[in-house]
């Protein structure tokens, strides 16, 4: 066996740091660092062990051939790793040194470990970077140990940077919701008293299912409940964003490099990102059956398997789940489109948000709340005409609270365009197109010159409604009752589609 010169070791260090810098912007930079380290030092195995809750948690484990299975990385020298954790000092061991019985039994002839120290503060190591040899190739020199220590320092810096990026992303997400109502504001109206009482009885980890029409504020409520709790981070999964199974499963659970065509690097899924915090599942009924099974494992055991995962044991995540849907989950379960066992696990508690048309007394206070969040320093008021129009019984508010918020925002913009110093919204700042159902044709501005018989108009209207019912039922059958897919196929807003289904008396459960 040979021993590298100091000059060769420094050349190796420069090359390794160059590769680390080149890979530092990628999600799999740590994997790349271990691959390079194992190759440069001609080692058989390398791993990074991070301290977590009093134990060791292996983040990555690599060999010259690629990733190591759980059984393989457990054959690393735990005594070397634990010694570095305990002392904060580097360790080098070779055959013949004292205390090597367990290492020899694993077939290890040399091993070394260096601490990964916290950046910018004193304290015990946060992790250990480790290599070992099982076949005689070369001796481990003091220069190799220095190289390992330098890589450990570099890994510590990159890990801290990764955490800062994650914190910045979370802050950006929070920043986008600065004008969102608080939990107290959402639950203040008397119409929300049943919801308020149910939420007050929730435990910190209780799974929650929120139902209601599109635009009623389901995701806002989930976010507000999560923000009022201690769990962090808060992560949202938009399950209706893709119909591709690999894409959706990868987004939720992540994937390993080479898991499918185009998977050129490892991806961290939303479940892993939400570890220790809250995962909000939006558009729950868009979740495919295969992904439902994977999510069931998360709810039952706190485990999951990324796409392409080859380890004997699954990965673990401590996540509180909140789910939101505007569909009929019970009907989907009875029809076999959604797993009944998963539904019960997600619905540790259920909350239903009422439609805006069923809580008209809240419309004016909600509108004033929107204005207060848009312009905290301006004392906006609504004139009597606007108040009456917003509460008019003929308005169905198919987009619910979301539609009301956009209506008030547009009225405010018109008021400020006419008078930058304005502090009052009036009826003249409202447009009929802001508040009417887009599927209902606008009234004609000119009278019909030759009015038809009213009975004939009624017959024509009934025929048109029946044609629409037939079209919608056929499309519902083609899309297996998934409203989001029907809306995309017909190229209409989902809130509009839901409104039309209700208006025409179409039962989505029977349509399938």
- Give residue-wise pLDDT tens across range 330-381: 888 888 889 999 999 999 899 999 999 999 999 999 999 899 888 888 899 9
Q: Which pLDDT band holds residue 445 (cuts at 50, 70, 90)?
A: very low
| Whole-number average pLDDT of the chain | 80
The answer for 42, left when phi > 0, alpha when psi is -120 to 50, beta otherwise, is left
Q: Which pLDDT band holds residue 168 (cuts at 50, 70, 90)?
A: low
Q: Which residue has the tokens 């809250």?
A: 278
Q: Average of pLDDT values for 416-428?
A: 91
- Domains of the chain: which residue ranges? 6-168, 183-354, 357-435, 454-511
Taken in order 330, 236, 255, 118, is the CA torsion positive or negative? negative
Contact 216, 404 (CB under 8 A): no
Please name which of 486, 496, 512 lies closest in space to residue 332, comparing C-alpha atoms: 512
Contact 182, 358 (CB under 8 A): no
* This prediction's pTM: 0.57
Residue 411 has pLDDT above 90, yes or no: yes
Q: Average of pLDDT values for 124-135?
A: 87
Each residue's pLDDT tens digit, 209-237: 999 998 899 999 999 999 988 888 899 88
Percentage of the chain exceeding pLDDT 70: 80
For domain 6-168, say whether CATH 3.40.1180.10 is its number: no
Each residue's pLDDT tens digit, 184-209: 888 988 889 999 999 999 888 899 99
Q: Residue 506, Cβ neighbours under 10 Å: how many?
A: 15
**pLDDT value of position 178:** 42
Q: How far apart are CA 25 and CA 378, in angstroms?
A: 44
Q: Looking at domain 357-435, which CATH architecture does it have?
A: Orthogonal Bundle (1.10)
Each residue's pLDDT tens digit, 309-320: 877 788 888 999
**pLDDT value of position 446:** 44
Buried b or exposed e, range 354-382, using 16+ CB within 10 angstroms: bbbeebeebbeebbbbbbbeeeeeeebeb
Q: What is the DSSP string of 64-84?
A: TTEEPPHHHHTTS-HHHHHHH
Q: How far apart are CA 432 and CA 430, in angstroms?
A: 7
Q: Which pLDDT band holds residue 20 (cuts at 50, 70, 90)?
A: low
Strand locations in 315-423 (E): 315-316, 320-325, 349-352, 381-382
Q: How far apart are CA 246 and CA 223, in angstroms?
A: 27
Q: What is each CA distance from 219 to 216, 282, 383, in whole angstroms?
A: 9, 7, 31
**Per-range mean pLDDT, top range of 104-108, 341-345, 464-468:** 341-345
267 phi/psi in degrees, rounded to 5: -125, 135
**Which tokens sit at 445?**
């501005």
DSSP secondary structure code for residue 96 in this structure:
T
Q: How far apart are CA 103 and CA 410, in angstroms?
A: 71
Q: Which pLDDT band holds residue 442 (cuts at 50, 70, 90)?
A: very low
**pLDDT value of position 56:** 45
Task: Tell me the pairing of strands 234-238 and 381-382.
Answer: unpaired
Please name which of 411, 408, 398 lies closest in space to residue 439, comparing C-alpha atoms: 398
**pLDDT value of position 176:** 46
CATH number of the domain located at residue range(s) 183-354 in this protein: 3.40.50.300
| CATH topology identical between 183-354 and 357-435 | no
Of 120 and 474, more confident: 474
**pLDDT value of position 354:** 92
Residue 170 has pLDDT above 60, yes or no: no
């Amino acid at each position: 066996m040979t021993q590298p010169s100091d000059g060769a070791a420094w050349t190796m260090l420069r090359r390794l740091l160059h590769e680390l810098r080149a890979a530092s912007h990628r999600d799999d930079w740590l994997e790349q660092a271990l691959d390079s380290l194992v190759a440069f030092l001609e080692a058989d195995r390398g791993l990074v062990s991070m301290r977590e809750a009093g134990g060791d948690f292996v983040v990555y484990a690599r060999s010259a051939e690629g990733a190591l299975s759980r059984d393989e990385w457990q054959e690393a020298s735990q005594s070397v790793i634990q010694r570095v954790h305990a002392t904060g000092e580097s360790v080098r061991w070779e055959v013949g040194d004292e205390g090597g019985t367990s290492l020899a039994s694993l077939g290890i002839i040399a091993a070394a470990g260096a601490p990964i120290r916290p950046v910018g503060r004193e304290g015990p190591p946060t992790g250990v970077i480790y290599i070992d040899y099982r076949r005689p190739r070369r001796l481990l020199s003091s220069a190799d140990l220095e190289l390992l220590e330098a890589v450990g320092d570099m890994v510590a810096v990159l890990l801290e940077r990764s955490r800062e990026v994650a914190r910045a992303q979370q802050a950006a997400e929070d920043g986008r919701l600065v004008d969102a109502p608080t939990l107290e504001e959402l639950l203040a109206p008397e119409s929300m008293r049943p919801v308020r009482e149910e939420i007050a009885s929730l435990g910190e980890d209780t799974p929650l299912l929120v139902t209601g029409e599109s635009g009623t504020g389901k995701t806002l409520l989930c976010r507000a409940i999560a923000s009022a709790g201690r769990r962090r981070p808060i992560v949202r999964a938009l399950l209706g964003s893709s119909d591709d199974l690999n894409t959706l499963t990868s987004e939720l659970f992540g994937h390993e490099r080479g898991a499918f065509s185009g998977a050129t690097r490892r991806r961290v899924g939303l479940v892993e990102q939400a570890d220790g915090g809250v995962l909000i599942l939006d558009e729950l009924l868009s979740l495919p059956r295969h992904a439902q099974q994977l999510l069931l494992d998360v709810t039952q055991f706190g485990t999951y398997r990324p796409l392409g995962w080859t380890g004997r044991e699954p990965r673990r995540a401590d996540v509180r789940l909140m789910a939101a849907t505007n569909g009929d989950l019970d009907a989907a379960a009875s029809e076999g489109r959604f797993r009944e066992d998963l539904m019960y696990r997600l619905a540790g508690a259920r909350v239903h948000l009422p439609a805006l048309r069923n809580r008209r007394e809240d419309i004016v206070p909600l509108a004033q709340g929107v204005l207060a969040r848009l312009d905290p320093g301006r004392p906006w008021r609504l004139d009597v005409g606007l108040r009456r129009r917003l509460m008019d019984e003929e308005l169905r508010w198919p987009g619910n609270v979301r539609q009301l918020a956009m209506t008030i925002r547009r009225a405010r913009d018109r008021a400020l365009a006419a008078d930058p110093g304005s502090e009052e919204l009036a009826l003249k700042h409202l447009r009929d197109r802001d508040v009417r159902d887009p599927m209902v044709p606008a009234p004609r501005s000119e009278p019909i010159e030759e009015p038809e018989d009213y009975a004939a108009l009624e017959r024509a209207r009934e025929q048109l409604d029946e044609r629409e019912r037939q079209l919608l039922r056929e499309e519902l059958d083609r899309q297996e009752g998934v409203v989001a897919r029907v809306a995309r196929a017909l190229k209409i807003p989902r809130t509009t589609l839901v409104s039309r289904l209700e208006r025409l008396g179409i039962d989505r459960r029977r349509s399938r």
